[in-house]
Amino acid sequence: MSAKLTLEVVTPYGVTFSDEVDYVHVKGIDGELGILPEHEPLFTALQIDLVKYEKNDEVKYIAVMGGFVDIYENKVSILSDSAELAEDIDVLRANRAKQDAETLLLEQVAQEKFEKIDKDIQKALARIKAAEAIQAAAAKKSQKR
């Protein structure tokens, strides 16, 4: 029998997943990692992405919201704020959350653009007021002559 990896995904709420697997694939902050049994020890930060694992020629996925991976003696420990098994994900809810986040982002960008434009208008008005004040002062001075 060939060697296996123990894959464990842990969040602050407990163990999300734990099983013996053949292969693990994660996306670290410095690139993608393919992990097989007897992998060298490694500890690195993870990006928000999928963890792919294979067991008995079946491929499965876990959505991981960043965190860290620790590889040591055929054990792959993933520590994350949040993780969900792909088969447990409510796709409609995830799409709504994505749309809500995109809307919020557009509103934020629009607000930032509005604030910048408003600031540009205030600067232009200040310049106009200053120029008009100089012109008015110059006109008053020429009338006195």
**Rounded distance between C-alpha atoms, residue 143 and residue 145, angstroms:** 5
Q: Is 35 exposed, middle or buried (0-12, 13-18, 19+ CB in 10 A)?
A: buried
Let me know: does 78 contact 68? Beta carbons within 8 Å.
yes
CATH fit for domain 5-88, picks 2.60.15.10, 3.20.20.70, 2.40.50.100, 1.20.1300.10: 2.60.15.10
Q: Which two tokens stand for residue 62?
A: 């876990």
- The residue extents of the domains of the chain are 5-88, 90-145
CA 118 to chain centre: 30
Residue by residue, pLDDT tens for the chain (145 residues) are 469 999 999 999 999 999 999 999 999 999 999 999 999 999 999 999 999 999 999 999 999 999 999 999 999 999 999 999 988 888 888 888 888 888 887 788 777 777 777 777 777 667 777 777 778 878 887 887 6
List the end-to-end C-alpha distance of the chain, in Å, as a whole number: 108
